[in-house]
Structure 1
């Protein structure tokens, strides 16, 4: 009898990579639109265990509430329901998937390393979903700031608190984290060179922070978002530069 294909093979447009032999997560999921993180997180977490802490690196704080948060399927509805919801119900601008994942019971708290706040983004530090669960939203602009708050928390810093409380971590990266809008034309983005990518991802003193993230990380999700990264060719070049630092230096794995 022919067996069913593995679940991840049913996620159109999602590439699953093995990170065996490195440190941190054993699997990575690569896709273009960031909203496909929702079914990828469901696939990575499986059916067991509670929600994970999301550690996200992005240019934007993707915490705009879904238009119909009560319509987001619970994770118990299965991968197909979450995949269809991500593709057909979430916003094509790719900024409501994080709160949707909280509604689904996939993500508990979130540590958001991001610099820009889209219009309509949720502004408080606790999100209460439609099922009555509360989620911490800890936002810092850079890895350097997150690492500093982890090493020596100042009053009000919660980076160490959410990391220590988490049982599992989903590490999420949006490629546009490594771009800057042009001063001459805000619709044009400038990809960062390798040296700046490395300085951002691996600043001095960040190793204790990354160790705390990676020892609990069950999966890496990576959104390529070419329309936010200068187009297909530019985003491809940027992906290669980021992969050298992210995979080889941070995860100690071979780049895809």
Structure 2
């Protein structure tokens, strides 16, 4: 099979060509977030590791159960795909550090609010091959934009973006949900206006310009079990796509 069509062998991963907008030319859409691992391998091909900019409800920074067993990217797409499906946590919390172990992701800018049990809490993750990876964590896009525009002591958002050669933009649909105060087991998808306010807050244009000018691919995890189920997640995907594709990337929604 032609090298450019390797993604066709990734079951459950949809590749979209984005044209006429700004930012990446390709997007990869899938359900379980751990499938980002082979999608990132497809997007990066043989190029250097990228800065990951990921938006999520959860800090997906749990250390894989067997980090040394994560295949290096040189093992090929099939090895990474099989590892993601069969060895990573089904809760989809450990794929970011697994991608660092694989040599796909260098540093990470993590925009997320929740902290799953076992989340790595350090500012630098040193993988089993001895490579250090900076972890810059902020809770919201407006906080990321503030740290980019006017860094306070200790803010590293601008620093990691300026140092990056390439960027992977990663979005989990559950970023745009909250748990109900009345019933913590109930997921509440956000309306489109709230999605827009979160994703495109005032004074965020320069931050997004810095992300998108180096962005080689968008990955989008739908995670229906974290978004209220199949029907609710489908409606949420429609609303997020309108803001994410049409307003941020300035291209047609899928």
| Structure 1 length-normalised TM | 0.98
C-alpha deviation, 1:234, in angstroms: 0.1
CA positional deviation for 1:3: 5.9
Name the residue aligned to 2:29.
Answer: 30
CA distance in 2, matches of 1:20, 1:241: 20
Q: How does 1:99-114 map to 2 (within 5 A)?
A: 99-114=97-112
Deviations 1:49-79, CA, capped at 9 Å, x for gaps: x210000000000000000000000000000
Residue in 2 aligned with 1:19? 18
2:72 corresponds to 1:74 = yes
| Matched residues, number | 254
DSSP 3-state at the match of 2:58? coil
1:1-256 equivalent positions in 2, closer than 5 A: 6-48=5-47, 50-256=48-254
After superposition, the CA RMSD in angstroms is 1.0
Inter-partner Cα distance in structure 2 for 1:205 and 1:120: 34
Aligned counterparts of 1:133 and 1:22: Cα–Cα separation in 2: 35
Separation in structure 2 between the aligned mates of residue 93 and residue 219 of structure 1, nearest angstrom: 24
Q: Could you tell me which runs of 5 or more consecutive residues in structure 1 were left unpaired when the two chains were aligned.
A: none
Q: Provide the TM-score with structure 2 as the length reference.
A: 0.99
Distance in 2 of aligned mates of 1:126 and 1:64:
13
Q: Take 1:149 and 1:4, find their aligned partners in 2: how far apart are those partners? A: 39
State the secondary structure of the residue aligned to 1:102: helix
Gaps of 5+ in 2: none
